[in-house]
Structure 1
Amino acid sequence: MSSDQGSMSRTSLFVRPLLEFFFPTANEATLQIYHGYVRKAAHLTEYAILGGLAVRAIYSTFQSQTITYLVAILIVAAVAIADEVGQSFRPSRTGSVTDVLIDIAGGTTLIGLVWLIARLRRTDSVV
């Protein structure tokens, strides 16, 4: 999403009509705030998916749980940083430390959930 296609002016072409449909009485300022929330939720979701895929790929390669989860978080962080640095070079985009933190939070959340499920499965199989 770091291309110009991911800029707020471009995403508003499909997000804005949805917001107007669901919030018909909202004023312009409120719609802008909601649009920002949708964009941040997209960051969270994209990087959660990346985190889950990273865990899957790394586990099948190394089969070490500690390395799997740590490297997956590092991959999520590296991609988030690279994405925001790339955006800072585009005139229609801005790089944001906040977005990097949101991206890492999204990835780490799903990685943590995968870890928790794996841990619960191990506990159940031992009992």
Structure 2
Amino acid sequence: MMTSELPIALDSLAIVVNAENTDVDDITLDELKQIWEPDSEVTSWSDVNPDWPDEEIGLYGRPEESGTFDYFTEAVVGEAGAIRPDYETDSRGRRAAGHPLDFGPDARRRVAGSQRSGHSS
């Protein structure tokens, strides 16, 4: 019997809003672009959407060496590698807080690589 492969996906990236983040029900690619583009001046949720709280957004993401970084910047910002420079990494140079498998105590506050500061756990 001859078998053949049928690829259904080569790569994917899921962007989700945690159900416990009651201020942001969903986020569009346009809103993500406003947050992450290289010349972004967004510092609070209300800068993106006036219905969202006037609270600081803490930015976390993958390192520049990551394939996820390239895909995220291309899909969200429109150009691979193009991103604002003021987001954080962990001590090993990884953007651990934005890692898709990060289930730490603050993970519920993260939205698409960003974190809402000042929100009680």
TM-score by length of 1: 0.23
**Higher Rg of the two aligned structures:** 1
Relative contact order higher in (CA < 8 Å, ≥ 6 apart): 1
TM-score normalised to structure 2 length = 0.24
